[in-house]
Amino acid sequence: MNNDIPLNWFLYFAAASFAIGLVGVMLRRNAIAVLMAIEIILNAANVNLVAFWRYGTPAPGSGPLPGVILAILVITVAAAEVAVGIGLILLCYRRWRVADVDRYDTMSG
Amino acid sequence: MPPTAPPLDLRDFWRIAPAAILAFWGLVVVLTDVGLARRLGLETRRRVVGWLALAGVGLSLVSTVVMFWLDSLAAVDPERLQELLGASLGDYFARSGDVIFLGALASGVSVDVLNILYLVLLALVIQLSTSYRFTEDWGECLALLIWATVGMMFLSAAEELVTLFLSLEMMTICLYILTAFEKSRPRSMEAGLKYFIYGSVSSALFLYGLSLVYGLAGTTRFAAIERILTGAGTVDPGLVGNLAGTTALLLMLVGFGFKIAAVPFHQWAPDVYEGAPAPVAAWIVTGSKIASIVALMKVFLHAARPWSFPSSDMMGPGWLGIIAVVSAVSMTYGNLAALVQTNFKRLLAYSSIAHAGYILVGLAAAIVSVNGSAAAGALLYYLVIYAFSNLGAFAVAAWLARDRNADEIDDLNGMGSERPLLALCLAFLMLSLIGVPPFGGFFGKLYVFMEALNQGPSQTRIILVWLVALGLLNSAVSAFYYVRVLKAMYFRPRSGAGLKRAESAVATPILLSTLVVVGFGLFPQPLVDLMKSVAGPMLISSSIEAAVSAPPAVSTASSDVSR
Amino acid sequence: MASILFLVIAAIGLATALGTVLSRNLVRAGLYLVAFFFAIACLFVLLEAEFLAAIQVLVYIGAVAILLMFGIMLTRDTLGDDTTAIPVGWMIPGLFGGLCVFTVLAVGINNSIAPSGWTPWSGTTSRPSIIKQESDPEPAWVAERREAVNDMGRVIGVELMTRYVVAFELAGLLLTAALVGAIALAHRADSAPKPPRSVEQAAGSGPGADPPSEAGEPVASSLSP
Q: Model confidence over A75-84: pLDDT tens digits?
A: 999 999 999 9
Query: What are the pLDDT digits (tens) for C131-165?
Result: 776 667 777 778 888 888 888 999 999 989 888 99
CA distance C94 to chain B (A): 17
pLDDT of residue C83: 56
Of C29, C109, C178, the CB nearest to A83: C178
Residue B464 lies in a domain: yes
Q: Do C110 and A8 touch (CB under 8 A)?
A: yes
Q: Do A51 and C47 touch (CB under 8 A)?
A: yes
> Touching C: which chains, 3+ CB pairs < 8 A?
A, B
Mutate to test the interface with B, among C149, C154, C163 (most CBs of B within 10 A): C163
Residue C223 lies in a domain: no
Judged by average pLDDT, the poorest of A78-87, B517-526, C105-114, C210-219 is C210-219
Residue C45 lies in a domain: yes
Residue B456 lies in a domain: yes
CA distance C136 to chain B (A): 8
Give the mean model confidence (pLDDT) for residues C69-83. Answer: 72
**A97 touches C at CB < 8 Å:** yes
**A45 touches C at CB < 8 Å:** no
Of B190, B207, B554, the CB nearest to A104: B190
In this prediction, the residues of chain B whose per-residue pLDDT falls under 70 are: 1-4, 232-234, 457-461, 496-499, 541-563
Residues in C touching B216 (Cβ below 8 Å): 112-115
Rounded CA gap, B431 and B438, in Å? 9
Of B44, B140, B403, the CB nearest to C180: B140
CA angle B529, B532, B537 (to 5 degrees): 140
- The CATH number linked to C71 is 1.20.120.1200
Rounded CA gap, B261 and B477, in Å? 20
**Could you tell me if A69 and C160 are in contact, meaning their C-beta atoms sit under 8 angstroms apart?**
yes
**Could you tell me if A20 and C98 are in contact, meaning their C-beta atoms sit under 8 angstroms apart?**
yes
> Model confidence at C26, in pLDDT bands (50, 70, 90)?
confident
Residues in B touching A71 (Cβ below 8 Å): none
**φ, ψ for residue B495, nearest 5 deg:** -120, 125
**φ, ψ for residue B408, nearest 5 deg:** -85, 160
**C102 touches B at CB < 8 Å:** no
Return the bridge partners of B100, or none: B105
> Touching B: which chains, 3+ CB pairs < 8 A?
A, C
Residues in A touching C74 (Cβ below 8 Å): 90, 93
Residue C101 lies in a domain: no
Of C107, C162, C207, the CB nearest to B5: C162
Phi/psi-derived region of residue B419, left when phi > 0, alpha when psi is between -120 and 50, beta in every other case:
beta
Please name each of the domains of chain A with its CATH number.
Answer: 7-103 (1.10.287.3510)
Residue C140 has what DSSP assignment? H
pLDDT of residue C216: 38
**C110 touches A at CB < 8 Å:** yes
CA distance A42 to chain C (A): 11
**Number of H helices and number of E strands within chain B?**
24, 2
Q: Do B162 and A66 touch (CB under 8 A)?
A: yes
Q: Do A52 and B211 touch (CB under 8 A)?
A: yes
Residue B176 lies in a domain: no
Write the secondary structure of C86-100 as one string of H (helix), E (strand) and C (coil).
Answer: CCHHHHHHHHHHHHH
CA distance B451 to chain A (A): 35
Q: Kindly give the residue spans of alpha helices, DSSP state H, lying in B232-343.
A: 243-260, 268-275, 278-283, 289-297, 319-338
| A100: closest chain C residue by CA | C83
Of B207, B221, B340, the CB nearest to A61: B221
Residue C222 has what DSSP assignment? G
Query: What are the pLDDT digits (tens) for B410-463?
Result: 777 777 777 888 888 888 999 998 888 888 889 889 999 988 888 776 656 677
Judged by average pLDDT, the poorest of B139-143, B525-529, C166-170, C186-190 is C186-190
**C191 touches B at CB < 8 Å:** no
Q: Do C155 and A2 touch (CB under 8 A)?
A: no
Residue B105 has what DSSP assignment? E
Residue B463 lies in a domain: yes
**A108 touches C at CB < 8 Å:** no
What lies within 8 Å, CB to CB, of C136 at 6+ separation is none
pLDDT of residue B561: 35
| C110: closest chain B residue by CA | B244
> Model confidence at C34, in pLDDT bands (50, 70, 90)?
very high
Return the bridge partners of A30, or none: A100
Range of the domain at C38: 1-85
Residue B316: exposure state from Cβ atoms within 10 A (0-12, 13-18, ≥19) = middle
pLDDT of residue C211: 41
Residue C78 has what DSSP assignment? -
pLDDT of residue B108: 83
Q: B501 to each of B414, B533, C26, C204, how far by Cα in Å?
A: 14, 41, 53, 20
Q: Is C209 helix (H, G, I), strand (E, B) or coil?
A: coil
- Per-residue pLDDT at C204 exceeds 50: no
Residue C95 lies in a domain: no
> Model confidence at C82, in pLDDT bands (50, 70, 90)?
low
pLDDT of residue C43: 95
Residue C56 lies in a domain: yes
Q: Do A48 and B194 touch (CB under 8 A)?
A: no
Q: For chain C, what is the domain count? A: 1
User: What kind and span of H or E run contains B220?
Assistant: none
Of A6, A12, A88, the CB nearest to C185: A88
Mutate to test the interface with A, among C91, C124, C149, C154 (most CBs of A within 10 A): C124
| B177: closest chain A residue by CA | A84
Mean pLDDT of all residues in chain C? 79
Residue C104 lies in a domain: no
| B243: closest chain C residue by CA | C108
- Per-residue pLDDT at C197 exceeds 70: no
Of A62, A66, A91, the CB nearest to B189: A91
Residue B251 lies in a domain: no
Q: Within the 156-195 window of chain C, which residues sit less than 8 Å (CB to CB) from chain A? A: 156, 159-160, 163-164, 167-168, 171, 174-175, 177-179, 181-182, 185-186
Residue C214 lies in a domain: no
CA distance C139 to chain B (A): 4
Q: Within the 12-41 window of chain C, which residues sit less than 8 Å (CB to CB) from chain A? A: 13-14, 17-18, 20-21, 26, 29-30, 33, 36-37, 40
Q: What does the buried/exposed string (b/e) look like for C164-189 if buried means 16 or more CB atoms within 10 Å of the residue's CB?
A: bbbbbbbbebbbbbbebbbebbeeeb
Give the mean model confidence (pLDDT) for residues C197-224. Answer: 41
**C73 touches B at CB < 8 Å:** no
Q: For chain B, what is the domain count? A: 1
**B101 touches C at CB < 8 Å:** yes
